[in-house]
Structure 1
Amino acid sequence: MNTPLPSLDEILLDAAVVTLPMRVKFRGILEREALIFRGPTGWGEFSPFPEYDDAESAAWLRGGLEAAWRGFPEPVRHRIPINATVPAVGPASVAAILERFGGATAVKVKVAERGQSVEDDVARVAEVRRLLPDAAVRVDANGGWDRDLAVDALTRLAEFTLEYAEQPVPDIAGLRMVREELRRRGVPVLIAADESVRKETDPLLVAREDAADLIIVKAAPLGGVRRAVDIVAQAGLPAVVSSALDTSVGIRAGVALAAALPELPYACGLGTVSLMDGDVTNTPLMPDGGYLLVRDVQVSDDLLARYAAPVDRTRWWMERLTRVHAMLAGQ
Structure 2
Amino acid sequence: MVKQPYSCVAVNWIKGSRSEAIGIFIFRSFKSGNLQQARVAISYLRVNYHFDYCRYRLPFRAPLWTAHGCWEAREGVILRLESEGGAISYGEACPIPWFGTETVNEVEEACRQVGAETNDAILDGLPEKLGCLRSAVHSARMDWNAPEDESARAVAALLPSGKQALDLIEPRAEAGFRTFKWKVGVGSVADELVLLDDICGRLSGGAKLRLDANGAWERRSAEKWLDRCADYPVEYVEQPCFAEASAFAKAMGDKSAVSAAQRRAEDLLLGLAEDFPTPLALDESIMSGHDVTRWIDQGWPGYFVLKTSLMGEAANALAALEKADAKVVFSSALETAVGAKAALKRAFAWNGSPHALGFGVWPLFNDFEVNGPAAAPLIRWDDVTRIDEEALWNALS
How is 1:42-57 mapped onto 2 (pairs within 5 angstroms)? 42-50=89-97, 52-53=101-102
How is 1:264-279 mapped onto 2 (pairs within 5 angstroms)? 264-274=353-363, 276-279=364-367
Match of 1:34 in 2: 76
Contact 2:288 2:312 in 1 (8 A): no
Deviation at 1:38, TM superposition (A): 2.7
TM-score w.r.t. the length of structure 2 is: 0.65
Match of 1:292 in 2: 379
Q: Distance in 1 between matches of 2:145 and 2:160?
A: 32
Match of 1:281 in 2: 369
CA 190–99 in structure 1, closer or farther in 2 if over 3 Å, else same: same
Q: 1:198 aligns with which of 287, 311, 319?
A: 287
Q: 2:191 aligns with which of 113, 120, 131?
A: 120
Please state whether the residue corresponding to 1:137 is helix, strand or coil.
strand
Does 2:64 match 1:25? yes
Deviation at 1:266, TM superposition (A): 1.3
**Structure with larger Rg:** 2
Deviation at 1:216, TM superposition (A): 1.3
Q: Deviations over 1:80-117 (max 9, x none)?
A: 21101123222x4533377479532101111112xx21
Contact 1:204 1:231 in 2 (8 A): yes
CA 126–248 in structure 1, closer or farther in 2 if over 3 Å, else same: farther
Please state whether the residue corresponding to 2:346 is helix, strand or coil.
helix
In structure 2, runs of 5+ residues without a counterpart are: 1-42, 82-86, 107-126, 243-264
Contact 1:86 1:108 in 2 (8 A): yes
Q: Distance in 2 between matches of 1:280 and 1:225?
A: 29
Q: 1:172 aligns with which of 249, 261, 266?
A: 266
Please state whether the residue corresponding to 1:244 is helix, strand or coil.
coil
How is 1:148-187 mapped onto 2 (pairs within 5 angstroms)? 148-170=220-242, 171-182=265-276
How is 1:204-223 mapped onto 2 (pairs within 5 angstroms)? 204-223=293-312
Match of 1:315 in 2: none
Q: Distance in 2 between matches of 1:26 and 1:204?
A: 31
Deviation at 1:62, TM superposition (A): 1.7
Report the AA paired with residue 21 of structure 1: F
Contact 2:91 2:339 in 1 (8 A): yes
Q: Deviations over 1:5-60 (max 9, x none)?
A: 988x8332x53524242323244201111211233463211110255435676121
Q: Distance in 1 between matches of 2:168 and 2:369?
A: 23
In structure 1, runs of 5+ residues without a counterpart are: 183-187, 309-331
Q: 1 or 2 for the larger relative contact order (CA 8 Å, sep ≥6)?
A: 1
CA 273–242 in structure 1, closer or farther in 2 if over 3 Å, else same: same
Identify the range of structure 1 (51-60 vs 103-112) with the bigger mean alpha-carbon deviation: 51-60
Q: Distance in 2 between matches of 1:110 and 1:38?
A: 34
Please state whether the residue corresponding to 1:85 is helix, strand or coil.
strand
Report the AA paired with residue 118 of structure 1: V
CA 146–292 in structure 1, closer or farther in 2 if over 3 Å, else same: same
Contact 1:137 1:163 in 2 (8 A): yes
Q: 1:136 aligns with which of 199, 208, 218?
A: 208
Deviation at 1:76, TM superposition (A): 2.8
CA 71–271 in structure 1, closer or farther in 2 if over 3 Å, else same: farther
Match of 1:109 in 2: 182
Q: Distance in 1 between matches of 2:64 and 2:371?
A: 23
Aligned identity (percent) is 24
Q: Distance in 2 between matches of 1:5 and 1:192?
A: 40
Q: Distance in 2 between matches of 1:206 and 1:263?
A: 18
Deviation at 1:156, TM superposition (A): 1.4
Deviation at 1:234, TM superposition (A): 4.4
Deviation at 1:305, TM superposition (A): 6.8
Does 2:153 match 1:89? no
CA 145–6 in structure 1, closer or farther in 2 if over 3 Å, else same: farther
Contact 2:213 2:237 in 1 (8 A): yes
Match of 2:322 in 1: 233
Contact 2:289 2:316 in 1 (8 A): no
Report the AA paired with residue 253 of structure 1: A
Contact 1:109 1:138 in 2 (8 A): yes
CA 199–99 in structure 1, closer or farther in 2 if over 3 Å, else same: farther
CA 249–279 in structure 1, closer or farther in 2 if over 3 Å, else same: farther
